[in-house]
Amino acid sequence: MTRLIFLGPPGAGKGTQAKTLAAFLQIPHISTGDILRQAIQDQTNLGMQAQGFMDKGELVPDKLVEDMVKERLQQPDAITGWILDGFPRKVTQAEFLAELLTSLGQGGEKVINLDAPDESVITRLLGRGRKDDTEEVIRRRLEVYRDETAPLINYFTDRQKLLTVNGNQSQEEVFTDLKNIIAA
């Protein structure tokens, strides 16, 4: 069973690679953003709670995101494996996830850090042409990412779960590296 957690800076290709790999492995790509949007669309209890925070321009609290991840990992399609993208974002969420996976009998996950240098990521994100993707905003997002994720990288390294893939290569080369990691 393949259970993967994707980490990496914005623009490193996490979403693209997670979708491609999930399709290849025939397991769900679970993105916390997608979970939130789906829960809101479906008007679930958790979705309506999340909508309340988002309507006020506030971040959805950790507990609510954790509850949504818990609910999602218990769905039938996730029993045979999954790729988590966008969760955990901090050590407290990683600790929650470890306890959750133990309680669900879903251990054995690997954590893949798609690493790419800031300059490459900035070039990629500027190339997307989104209005909010200015160089200043992108640099700030990278700074926040590094501040929040450095402890996560150490957390998973200490538990011997972290594998790093060079995200500064073609999509095909990254995908090949990912398949090799899974096969190992």
Q: Which of 89, 90, 110, 161 is catalytic?
A: 89
Does 161 qualify as catalytic in the annotation?
Answer: no
Give CA separation, 176 vs 8, 120, 171, in Å.
17, 20, 9
Does 3 qualify as catalytic in the annotation?
Answer: no
Which residue numbers belong to the known binding site for AMP? 32, 37, 58-60, 86-89, 93, 130, 141
Which residue numbers belong to the known binding site? 11-16, 32, 37, 58-60, 86-89, 93, 128, 130, 141, 169
Distance CA 178, CA 82 (A): 14
Does 159 qualify as catalytic in the annotation?
Answer: no
Q: Kindly tell me the burial class for residue 41, based on how many C-beta atoms sit within 10 Å of its own C-beta (0-12, 13-18, 19 or more).
A: exposed
Give the position of tokens 């994707």.
Answer: 6
Q: Which of 63, 130, 140, 146 is catalytic?
A: 130
Does 14 qualify as catalytic in the annotation?
Answer: yes
Q: Which of 3, 14, 72, 124 is catalytic?
A: 14
Residue positions annotated with a catalytic role: 14, 89, 128, 130, 141
